[in-house]
Amino acid sequence: MLNFLIDIAPNLVKYQDEFFLSINETVQMMVIAGFFSFVVGLLLGVILVVTRKGGIMEQPLIYQILDKSTNLFRSIPFVILLTALIPLTRIIAGTPIGVRGAIFPLVVGCTPFFMRQVDMALSDLDPGLIEAAQSMGLSPFQILVKVYLRESIPALTRSTSITLISLLGLTAMGGAVGAGGIGAFVIRYGHGRFMADITYASIIVILLMVSIIQAIANIIIKKTTH
């Protein structure tokens, strides 16, 4: 088996330790940045929905600030955003490179995207459910938890999977400016030294990650759809 791998992927075998390290770094970035992006994005996305005109906690000023900020950050290409955030990243993380230096820019780049996904997921909820909850005398917080979030679990799961897949792409782009992970590994060897076997192996790993994310999301959606 080893001889077979050496024949078809000699460079991958030679740099296998770095290859597995790069996978580990990518997973770390996705888990940590994904967690913070989910928490902050869900919170701000909910605020975006409930404060808009006609929302259960209508606040036009708050909505306009969040809406415009979301559009602003979503319009900035991630590589440029990552570079622009270097001074702030150095203050927060202590370094602008490596996994630790990539977390903050990834959260900043991913959160607005997830906010908009949450906005769309919750906005698709049947208005009749909200009206029924209000007629029953439920408070805005109860409506938020028992109607908005509970009834939107499948849609939010779908939004989360889309965001995680997008985040995986951001970690790869971050590799171009020293963020580490699979992106940096491919740039260093697959692109920089024309080692095609490393490039193809990395593509397979990324496809497997995407497949796993999508499979888990499909299971949750299937179990929560009613």
Which pLDDT score, from 0 to 100, does residue 112 have?
94
In this prediction, residue 154 carries a pLDDT of 93
Cα separation of 175 and 192, whole Å? 13
Residue 139: C-alpha distances to residues 42, 127, 142, 153, 189 (Å): 20, 16, 5, 20, 57
Express each pLDDT in 40-85 by its tens digit.
999 999 999 999 988 889 899 999 999 999 999 888 888 888 889 9
SS3 96: coil
Q: Please report the pLDDT score of residue 199 as a whole number.
A: 92
**Block residue for tokens 């095609």:** 196
Average pLDDT, the chain: 89
Q: The domain spanning residue 196 has which CATH number?
A: 1.10.3720.10
Distance CA 48, CA 162 (A): 19
Alpha helices in 78-195 (DSSP H): 78-84, 86-93, 98-123, 127-135, 140-143, 150-151, 153-174, 181-185
Alpha-carbon distance 81 to 96, whole Å? 12
pLDDT value at 175 more than 80: no
Q: Which residue has the tokens 């697959």?
A: 190
pLDDT > 70 fraction of the chain, expressed in percent and rounded: 96
Provide mean pLDDT across the span 207-219: 95
Check residue 195 and give its pLDDT: 87
Rounded to whole angstroms, how far apart are CA atoms 99 and 178?
A: 9
For 198-206, what is the mean pLDDT?
93
Q: Specify the DSSP class assigned to residue 76.
A: S
Q: Which domain holds residue 142?
A: 2-224
Number of domains into which the chain is organized: 1
Could you tell me which of 49, 52, 70, 74 has the C-alpha nearest to residue 61?
52
pLDDT score at 216: 95
pTM: 0.89
Write b or e for each residue in 18-33: b if 16 or more Cβ atoms lie within 10 A of its Cβ, otherwise e: ebeebbebbbbbbebb
Token representation of residue 82: 């990552």
- What pLDDT is stored for residue 4 in this prediction? 60
pLDDT at residue number 222: 93
149: pLDDT strictly greater than 70: yes
Among 18-22, 91-95, 152-156, 214-218, name the one with the lowest average pLDDT. Answer: 91-95
Percent of the chain with pLDDT over 90: 53
Which pLDDT tens digit goes with each residue over 108-145? 999 999 999 999 999 888 888 888 888 888 888 899 98
